[in-house]
């Protein structure tokens, strides 16, 4: 792994009370929930990470401490390195500070996280559903949301499914 | 036949009204641009030079539903898109036909989950289903020709 | 959830996005709806217009949301690859490549040299095919219809090569973890060499039709300007970023599948407008041809798939002779292979930008989380400020130049 990347990751882990995980030749810093805005400011101003290229959430459902990991992918073109920061989030408090003030490109990513996982972002200019219909209830990508698998209509069960399948009224 | 023999070269041709109307409807059916996903690319390829669909009368693709006869639903229909699809179908004037192109429009395809409508025949009545993921342009043209055959068998009772 | 009732978003929910003049009726709120010939898919744009000039532009996506990420979690690693083709349906082999590289990293699988070279050839052919559709639709929106027909003619040749090797024109699933599905037939090399000889004259034809055409230049120069800092702050990538003067290409910066062995250039333009992005992509045609030619010259003999029978199924000929092959085949088809615990972020350079797959496994046979960082999702956000102050006709040119695909965005 790049020496510069390793040193930045180690400095970050020490300052924000996190752990460094460098398996599979990637730098990953796992931090507890809280100071994400400070972390982003430090990366942008001191370490020259100009863009936040990806943001998503992983749900570890049956465990609640932490239940979610928020994954931020930072990119620095000047130094040609990618850094991943994971922030832990407990199931009971689903409110996080938004980083749209620092990296404006994360706007829709946070909207998608609200839509799919139900995590609210404080300070986001426009938190509405993005991918699901406007009046949908529930947050689909959580692990306790069902897939919505429908039984396939073969010849042996044709009639019983035809009864409950909606059909157009012309 | 007897009438024609009597009339000779006076220039009269007799034929059933249904056949003439059906023939004229099939020869200039204008599809509506309703390409949603991957199947739309194969539909565009069927319109382009190698598999020319304008040989079959479908020269133009009209974006406006008010000026089209045929809706080729090409691609997966998500739950958010379903009301839009129905509204566009209602805006098309009679006579209108629907071809469900591809597996996702026919039955939901690979995606059996919360977000995809399992077959567009839950929303609009479909005349021809074309299978494939995505169907080859030749398969789509075969579907269009099957629709033409179906239209040729329509009777006056269906129009009413 | 009711499907057949109409769902309208009222102005109250969007009040914070439109200017005050909309509420008094000074400006017009126009819906450039999900079904529109120029929006390249099911994209809905809510425009606030003052005459013909755009004051605000609010994009609305989600009309093609397919739940692919959740569906991948329900399938084994081998079955999930079929879903990856359908994400960005113009760059099907690139999606497969990202998935296969991610799985190979997690499992530590080796890929033979011949498979890597063929992967590069197909990735570059796919890039040319995708750029041909970009050119066809951008020119069609700006009323150059013959370019549309020419581009599709060229694309048919590439699709025929793909059908020759994998049996399918678009959703090939030809790359598999460990290498390729099967070896390329004998006619492959000749077909690709014919294409390399035939294509450069066609590029000149397109350039002759568009690049110096004063009508075209009038419609694209100075439109949709994006500065370097804005592009970086909003996380742009690919030709959209290179058109604003940033020299960054993942094939050079973080090479994968043997790209460091090939000699090619990355076109970069400074202006940041629609014409700069157009020129970047036109020059990428020629660079891709260079890479394909070098790869063909270098193509070694050898196996095309790894031998690790725990992950790669045995060839059918072996099933009649060896009991272990039958057992491996049975376990792979019924349970699937277990991938060790861990997560990886694999990025490739798709024709649109940086396509990244974040794949996490919990030690079982199914992926735990597959998050696709897609370039079009990022780039549609740009429309809200790129379109301000332009005419509606210019908006069409901007949408074409950013090259979005809605399957990529909505997943």
Is C345 in Cβ contact with A131 (below 8 Å)?
A: no
Give the Å distances, CA to CA, from A38 to A2, A126, B49, B93: 24, 22, 57, 59
Residue of A nearest to C104 (CA): A24
DSSP state of B35: B
Nearest to C234 by CA among A85, A35, A38, A100: A100
Q: Which chains lie within 8 Å of chain A at 3 or more CB pairs, if any? A: B, C
Give the Å distances, CA to CA, from C52 to A3, A10, C24, C138: 54, 54, 18, 21
pLDDT tens digit sequence for A107-139: 889 999 988 888 888 888 888 888 888 888 888
- Average pLDDT of chain B to the nearest whole number: 85
Q: Is C374 left (phi over 0), alpha (psi -120 to 50) or beta?
A: beta
Radius of gyration of the CA atoms of chain C, in A:
23
Q: Residue C342 is nearest to which of A24, A126, A136, comparing CB atoms?
A: A24
Cα–Cα distance for residue pair C57/C98, rounded to 1 Å: 33
SS3 content of chain B, % helix, strand, coil (to 5): 45, 10, 45
Nearest to B14 by CA among B23, B3, B30, B28: B3
Cα–Cα distance for residue pair C124/C118, rounded to 1 Å: 10
Residue of B nearest to A164 (CA): B122
Q: Residue C65 is nearest to which of B78, B110, B133, comparing CB atoms?
A: B78
The half-sphere exposure of C165 on its side-chain side, counting CA atoms within 13 A, is: 28
pLDDT tens digit sequence for C75-127: 899 889 888 888 889 999 999 999 999 999 998 888 999 999 999 999 999 99
Cα–Cα distance for residue pair B52/C103, rounded to 1 Å: 41
B87 vs A: CB within 8 A = no
Question: Residue C14: is its pLDDT beyond 80?
Answer: no
Cα–Cα distance for residue pair C131/C206, rounded to 1 Å: 12
Q: Residue A141 is nearest to which of C17, C70, C237, comparing CB atoms?
A: C70
Residues in Cβ contact with C301 at an 8 Å cutoff, skipping those fewer than 6 apart: C114
The half-sphere exposure of A150 on its side-chain side, counting CA atoms within 13 A, is: 21
B4 vs A: CB within 8 A = no
Best residue in A51, A128, A168 for a mutation probing chain C (most C CBs within 10 Å): A51
Instruction: State how far residue C4 is from chain B, nearest Cα, in angstroms.
Output: 5
For residues B109 and B133, the answer to whether their CB atoms sit within 8 Å is: yes
Instruction: State how far residue B23 is from chain A, nearest Cα, in angstroms.
Output: 24
Q: Residue A168 is nearest to which of B107, B112, B124, comparing CB atoms?
A: B124
- Average pLDDT of chain C to the nearest whole number: 87
pLDDT value of position C337: 87
pLDDT value of position B34: 83
Residue of B nearest to C150 (CA): B49
> For strand B97-101 and strand B128-130, is the pairing parallel, antiparallel, or unpaired?
parallel
Residues in Cβ contact with C324 at an 8 Å cutoff, skipping those fewer than 6 apart: C309
Is A131 in Cβ contact with C373 (below 8 Å)?
A: no
pLDDT value of position A48: 84
Residue of C nearest to A76 (CA): C232
pLDDT tens digit sequence for C276-306: 999 999 999 999 999 999 999 999 998 888 8
Count chain A–chain C contacts defined by CB atoms under 8 A.
100
pLDDT value of position A170: 62
- E runs forming strands in chain B: 31-32, 70-74, 97-101, 128-130
Best residue in B35, B41, B89 for a mutation probing chain C (most C CBs within 10 Å): B41
Cα–Cα distance for residue pair A148/C141, rounded to 1 Å: 38
B122 vs A: CB within 8 A = yes
Confidence of residue C13 (pLDDT cuts 50, 70, 90): low
Q: Residue C67 is nearest to which of B42, B111, B123, comparing CB atoms?
A: B111
pLDDT tens digit sequence for C19-35: 666 667 778 888 888 87
B94 vs A: CB within 8 A = no
Question: Residue C196: is its pLDDT beyond 90?
Answer: yes
pLDDT value of position B6: 63
Q: Residue A132 is nearest to which of C62, C232, C253, comparing CB atoms?
A: C62
* Contacts C64 to B, Cβ<8 Å: 36-37, 75-76, 78, 81
Beta bridge partners of C30: C47
Cα–Cα distance for residue pair C336/C328, rounded to 1 Å: 10
User: What's the rounded mean pLDDT across residues B120-132?
Assistant: 90
Residue of B nearest to C8 (CA): B83
Considering only residues 39 to 98 of chain A, which have any Cβ-Cβ distance to chain B shorter than 8 Å? none
Instruction: State how far residue A15 is from chain C, nearest Cα, in angstroms.
Output: 24
User: What's the rounded mean pLDDT across residues C5-27?
Assistant: 62
Considering only residues 147 to 166 of chain A, which have any Cβ-Cβ distance to chain B shorter than 8 Å? 147-150, 152, 165-166
- E runs forming strands in C42-138: 44-50, 53-60
Residue of B nearest to A129 (CA): B80
Radius of gyration of the CA atoms of chain A, in A:
21
pLDDT tens digit sequence for C149-186: 899 999 999 999 999 999 888 888 899 998 898 889 99
Nearest to A132 by CA among C372, B81, C8, B119: B81
Cα–Cα distance for residue pair C32/A143, rounded to 1 Å: 36
Confidence of residue C396 (pLDDT cuts 50, 70, 90): confident
Best residue in A53, A71, A144 for a mutation probing chain C (most C CBs within 10 Å): A53
Question: Residue C5: is its pLDDT beyond 60?
Answer: no
pLDDT tens digit sequence for B53-63: 888 888 777 77
User: What's the rounded mean pLDDT across residues A80-85?
Assistant: 88
Of A38-42, A162-166, B23-27, C246-250, the least confident: A162-166
Residue of C nearest to B116 (CA): C66
* Contacts A146 to B, Cβ<8 Å: 114
pLDDT value of position B7: 63
Radius of gyration of the CA atoms of chain B, in A:
18
For residues C18 and C10, the answer to whether their CB atoms sit within 8 Å is: no
Q: Residue A84 is nearest to which of C3, C254, C345, comparing CB atoms?
A: C345
* Contacts B118 to A, Cβ<8 Å: 150
Instruction: State how far residue B120 is from chain A, nearest Cα, in angstroms.
Output: 9
Highest mean pLDDT among B46-50, C64-68, C121-125, C400-404: C121-125
Is B134 in Cβ contact with C64 (below 8 Å)?
A: no
* Contacts C152 to B, Cβ<8 Å: 44-45, 48-50
- Average pLDDT of chain A to the nearest whole number: 84
Question: Residue C10: is its pLDDT beyond 70?
Answer: no
Q: Residue A149 is nearest to which of B79, B113, B121, comparing CB atoms?
A: B113
């Amino acid at each position: 792994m790049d020496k510069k990347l390793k040193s930045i990751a180690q400095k970050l882990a020490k300052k924000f009370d996190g752990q460094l995980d460098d398996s599979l030749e990637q730098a990953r810093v796992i931090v507890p929930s809280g100071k994400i805005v400070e972390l982003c400011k430090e990366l942008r101003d001191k370490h020259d990470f100009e863009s936040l290229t990806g943001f998503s959430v992983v749900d570890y459902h049956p465990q609640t401490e932490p239940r979610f990991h928020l994954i931020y992918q930072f990119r620095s073109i000047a130094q040609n390195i990618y850094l991943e920061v994971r922030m832990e989030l407990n199931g009971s408090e689903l409110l996080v500070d938004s980083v749209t003030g620092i990296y404006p490109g994360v706007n829709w990513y946070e909207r998608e996280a609200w839509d799919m996982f139900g995590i609210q972002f404080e300070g986001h200019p426009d938190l509405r559903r993005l991918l699901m219909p406007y009046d949908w209830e529930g947050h689909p990508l959580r692990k306790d949301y069902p897939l919505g698998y429908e039984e396939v209509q073969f010849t042996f069960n044709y009639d019983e499914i035809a009864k409950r399948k909606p059909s157009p009224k012309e | 036949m007897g009438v024609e023999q009597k009339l000779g070269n006076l220039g009269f041709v007799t034929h059933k009204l249904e056949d003439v109307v059906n023939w004229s409807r099939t020869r200039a059916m204008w599809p509506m641009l309703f390409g949603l996903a991957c199947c739309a690319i194969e539909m565009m390829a069927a319109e382009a030079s190698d598999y020319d669909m304008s040989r079959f009368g479908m020269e133009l693709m009209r974006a406006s539903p008010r000026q089209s006869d045929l809706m080729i639903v090409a691609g997966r229909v998500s739950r958010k898109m379903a009301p839009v699809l129905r509204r566009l179908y209602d805006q098309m004037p009679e006579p209108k036909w629907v071809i469900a192109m591809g597996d996702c429009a026919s039955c939901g395809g690979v995606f059996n989950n919360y977000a995809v409508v399992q077959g567009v025949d839950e929303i609009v009545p479909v005349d021809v289903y074309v299978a494939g993921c995505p169907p080859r342009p030749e398969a789509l043209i075969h579907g269009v020709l099957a629709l033409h055959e179906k239209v040729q068998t329509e009777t006056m009772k269906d129009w009413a | 959830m009711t499907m057949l009732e109409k769902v309208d978003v009222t102005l109250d929910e969007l009040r914070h996005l439109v200017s005050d003049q909309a509420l008094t009726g000074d400006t017009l709120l126009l819906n450039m709806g999900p079904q529109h010939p120029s929006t390249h898919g099911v994209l809905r744009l809510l425009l606030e217009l003052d005459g013909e000039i755009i004051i605000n532009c609010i994009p609305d996506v989600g009309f093609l949301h397919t739940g692919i990420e959740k569906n991948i979690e329900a399938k084994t690693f081998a079955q999930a690859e079929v879903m990856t083709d359908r994400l960005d349906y113009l760059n099907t082999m690139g999606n497969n490549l990202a998935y296969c590289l991610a799985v190979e990293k997690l499992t530590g699988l080796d890929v033979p040299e011949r498979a890597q070279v063929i992967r590069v050839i197909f990735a570059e052919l796919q890039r040319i095919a995708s750029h041909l559709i970009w050119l066809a639709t951008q020119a069609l929106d700006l009323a150059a219809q013959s370019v549309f027909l020419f581009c599709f003619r060229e694309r048919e040749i590439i699709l025929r090569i793909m059908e020759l090797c994998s049996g399918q024109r678009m959703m090939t699933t030809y790359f598999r973890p460990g290498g390729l599905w099967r070896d390329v037939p004998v006619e492959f090399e000749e077909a690709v060499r014919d294409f390399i000889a035939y294509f450069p004259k066609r590029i000149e034809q397109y350039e002759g039709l568009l690049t110096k055409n004063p009508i075209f230049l009038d419609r694209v120069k100075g439109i949709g300007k994006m500065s370097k800092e804005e592009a970086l702050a909003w996380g742009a990538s690919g030709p959209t970023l290179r058109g604003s003067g940033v020299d960054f290409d993942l094939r050079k910066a973080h090479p994968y599948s043997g790209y460091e062995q090939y000699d090619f250039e990355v076109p970069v333009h400074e202006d940041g407008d629609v014409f700069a992005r157009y020129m970047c992509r036109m020059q990428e045609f020629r660079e891709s041809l260079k890479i394909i030619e070098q790869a063909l010259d270098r193509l070694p003999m050898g196996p095309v798939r790894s031998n690790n029978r725990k992950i790669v199924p045995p060839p059918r000929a072996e099933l009649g002779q060896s009991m272990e092959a039958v057992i491996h085949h049975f376990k792979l088809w019924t349970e699937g292979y277990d991938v060790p615990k861990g997560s990886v972020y694999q990025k490739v350079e798709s024709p649109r930008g940086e396509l990244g797959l974040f794949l996490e496994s919990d030690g079982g046979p199914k992926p735990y989380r597959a998050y696709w960082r897609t370039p079009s999702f990022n780039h549609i956000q740009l429309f809200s400020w790129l379109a301000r102050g332009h005419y509606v006709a210019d908006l069409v040119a901007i949408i074409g130049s950013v090259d979005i695909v809605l399957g990529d965005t909505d997943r």
